[in-house]
Chain A
């Protein structure tokens, strides 16, 4: 990986792309720490510290993770890329429901360009909504939860300040969207992924510093060792794949210079990626939210109490077991949705492909299904275990709530990292070959 990077820096056009991407990241980070006009930064910082040490921090942990700490700083880029991601998900779902959008999508690039345009408009719409909500919360002092102190976060309560803040944050979102597209077009990697990656990485130094300050050098070292070991493990498993050879019998071929087959279906051990973890953790936030809603009401309720006890924080055995089982379930579910053996077998059949020794059509689908099911078992266990690590680490080492090497962060980080390195490698060309021909 490092050799790929150094070689990339020696290739002029790739170096340009890498520097361009780094430049965009710098701008992105700058905007993430630049406060929106009208915010009392001193008070906001104090309120944030107070909120982090309070009970409800786990919800904020998730929010902070995806905004790289920008949201609660009420910075220009406070909303991050979530509005854009939400907008694209919504529009993609809408293409299924609205015939007009489906028709556009079918028309190829010209149609997709229009859908992209709609996505941008929707992003702006969502950004207006979200920024208004956040500014309103900040204005009423509720942004940092009920336990927040009475420090005013805004310098000024008048409507002008509020409008300026909303406009600034919305414009910030538009700029982020643009930065992302710039990276995709002219830099390396997928812009959106790179920006998420940046946000996740961005909180690492301060989180690690916190551990070092609060728990001392020994815990810090343990955390680092565990973290690096985990990253290595994730990189290893993410690359693992079962290759099913496929032959395309549509062309007569002569003699061949290269041995081995390069035509295969790569079935990954972790065929589902990160989605199951996100599904499972989102689902587990629901009981926590319910608890916060009902906790204030006077009458006590057996169900609410039981939920509060077992799902209120992440370190109860029942929570952990549920989390693990949900991940396993969602892994199977997601794999079954994204990999349809019948469709794959059908496609292979149409294009003249077959697995040697196996008939195209149903026998092929059955074979693929068999291999896939056996592969998904270790895959789902792996996802479950990786996601449990921060919770274990939390209880065992007594680290802070915001253990930086959380399962989700590592999976995203490694995923984006591997994809980007692969893309860089694909653009690398042999520059100076020393040998027979000079």
Chain B
């Protein structure tokens, strides 16, 4: 029964208020058909399901097939989730409720309607696991299933995309699209026209990942970072030569630092922009990027760690010389540096799908974002068995040392009972230092972090056993399923989850807690927080926590409020980054779509040859006489494609520059986003003119006997991603208020 307050919430379109009552009725009706379904053959069940996808018959049939092939009989709540997804919602289901199966049933439903489904997950491990796990079910339904991993070849990708259901990581799908958009041969493309996207861990994919556009970059020259710069900045000290801003996102030289650098280099620094860039990059690598937090060094290579997943981001590199600067800092050989060839936001990628649905354990918290960016609604499915996990309030300590001591004591005490413990740390370095501390106390923790991701499955499989002690980063925080090893474990109180600090988003906290208490199991979770945690230092630098009590803990309510407040500020900042990413890429993605129309006509047709023939009729005739009509057309196609792609790269470079300083326009009471978009139009016109100019020039100089690569038309390759910056000034009013506020408090700013 829907209560009145729920109806009001639904009317106001509050997140999580999608009406699931009709789905529940359908599923109840399916229960009555169970006996009939049991007697049918697979063939008959398939017909029963395909006849009317989404009906009670469909539910009864797929439930029976899943039972026979997977040995798992979907609960009513899973079927309700399936139906909600088939209607295009994002479903919130608690951890351990069997989202994977519910998603597979929905994917089968879409496939039976004749659509091809992309089941999008957050990493390769989950994509492959789910595809292989659900394969017997799909096979019995006469549906084909495939999966894609980073290492898949183009051939394998094409085969996987040809399946009815394709499991893949979101970035793989994005990169396949980006690579297809640069193909010079129609045969080389791998991705078909998108139809249905079924997004697993929807909040992570649609919100967290969407902050950063997917970028395809191409290697051009070897890294340009100067090792001397790395050596120079190593001599500088923080607070004297350089300083960091409050949020620890930027570093800059002080006047003293500038003096030191100028005398070391013997130049007036700010007359040489190139040198300033080199110094800034070296300083950034030196002061802001920390080994084993932001990146790890493995096999002589610098590898980025994705902060919200805790995994090595294989395809990511820092942009525009920063990668080389980090390599210089670590005294490694510079790898190729490059420029951005093409990019797409997660929004741009997913809104290409006419149908989107998704599932996650934490959707309501991002309900507003899902509606704003994807026009998706959230349906909340009640758990099959109520969750009995105890979530303790945070244990808050004044200093980091107090916290670490209390944390280690608690782990030792709890471990003595034999209860399995999962400790979630915030980064690789923390996981390792905690493991070291525990070892010094005679414990034997198992560590799971970006450095040993290969053993992930084995570690997770044992994490719920008696006496298990697992120290993990965010890697274990999502998608992993930790089963209790024995009934004895349940008697001890189930899995204990300890967080060593609150994450920048409450969803990440909830996901970590959710590793415990699956399917009505007992469990407990607690977070240890200190006033010196990065979250508080970065977002509430001016606040101090209330005084601690005798045992070292702070129990004042104000402290809990401040921790939550800092987290909400962090969430706000991240949403703003997401919104800006979207706002500032929308016009570019529109232009890209338009340019791709031209590109497709050149790639699949003869638009390139026609354009060059119209522009240079005599030259065209002359070349045809030299060889053949086909050879000239093929060469013309390659010439125009090359310059189109080359100019687009320059275009993106221009916009990256523009984007970086566009916030300054706010100082002239202009709206930065409007100014940005206004500059976009003439730039696009210029882009088209430039393509024409360069193509005709190449055509005039064309030598049909030599390969194009030797005529200055060499194509680059390689891939990585980057992050954009936000507008710090605010409106006129914000500035007035800021001045008044700082005057009132007698605080000196800047």
A binding-site residues for B, Cβ under 8 Å: 92-93, 95-97, 102-103, 106-111, 241, 246-258, 262-268, 271, 273, 337-340, 342-344, 346-347, 349-354, 356-362, 419, 422-423, 425-430, 433, 435-438
Contact = CB atoms under 8 A, between A and B. Distances in A.
Contacts of B308: none
Interface stretch (B57-65, B132-140, B189-197, B683-691): B683-691
B97 interface: no
Contacts of A252: 224, 277, 281, 320-321, 337
Interface residues of B, number: 94
Contacts of A103: 565
A165 B138 CA distance: 68
B725 A351 contact: yes
Contacts of A357: 270-271
Tell me whether chain B's interface is mostly helix, strand or loop, or mixed. helix
Contacts of A102: 741
B241 to A, nearest CB: 13
B563 to A, nearest CB: 13
A339 B252 contact: no
Nearest to B269: A359
Contacts of B673: 426
Contact of B615 (A346, A351, A436): A436
A258 B669 CA distance: 26
A257 B651 contact: yes
A342 B750 contact: yes
Nearest to B655: A262
B123 interface: no
Interface string B633-670: 00000000000000100110110111011101101111
A436 B280 CA distance: 42
A357 to B, nearest CB: 6
B674 A426 contact: yes
A286 B156 CA distance: 80
Contact of B692 (A346, A360, A425, A436): A436
A356 B271 contact: yes
Nearest to A343: B750
Contacts of A346: 750
Contacts of B455: none
Given A265-B667, A347-B728, A359-B258, A107 B736 contact: no
A252 to B, nearest CB: 3
B220 A254 contact: yes
B573 interface: yes
B681 interface: yes
B695 interface: yes
Contact of B683 (A107, A258, A351): A258
A157 B573 CA distance: 55
B231 interface: no
B605 to A, nearest CB: 11
Contacts of B657: 248, 253, 256, 262-263
Contact of A422 (B651, B661, B671, B681): B671
Contacts of B692: 435-437
Contacts of B675: 422, 426
Contacts of B728: 347, 351
15 contacts: A107-B565, A108-B572, A108-B573, A246-B661, A251-B322, A256-B650, A257-B651, A257-B687, A263-B660, A263-B662, A350-B252, A352-B280, A359-B258, A422-B675, A425-B678
Contact of B250 (A96, A271, A352, A436): A352
B339 interface: yes
Given A251-B319, A251-B656, A338-B735, A356 B270 contact: yes
A258 B654 contact: yes
Contacts of B602: 437
Nearest to A112: B572
Contacts of A110: 368, 568, 571-572
B260 interface: no
B255 to A, nearest CB: 6
A229 to B, nearest CB: 24
A356 B688 contact: no
B741 A96 contact: yes
A364 B253 CA distance: 14
Nearest to A346: B750
Contacts of B615: 436
B664 A273 contact: no
Among A111, A262, A349, max chain B CB count under 10 A is at A262
Contacts of B368: 109-110
Given A362-B255, A422-B678, 17 more contacts: A106-B565, A108-B573, A109-B575, A251-B321, A252-B337, A257-B686, A339-B735, A356-B273, A358-B270, A419-B671, A422-B675, A423-B671, A425-B674, A425-B678, A426-B671, A437-B602, A438-B611
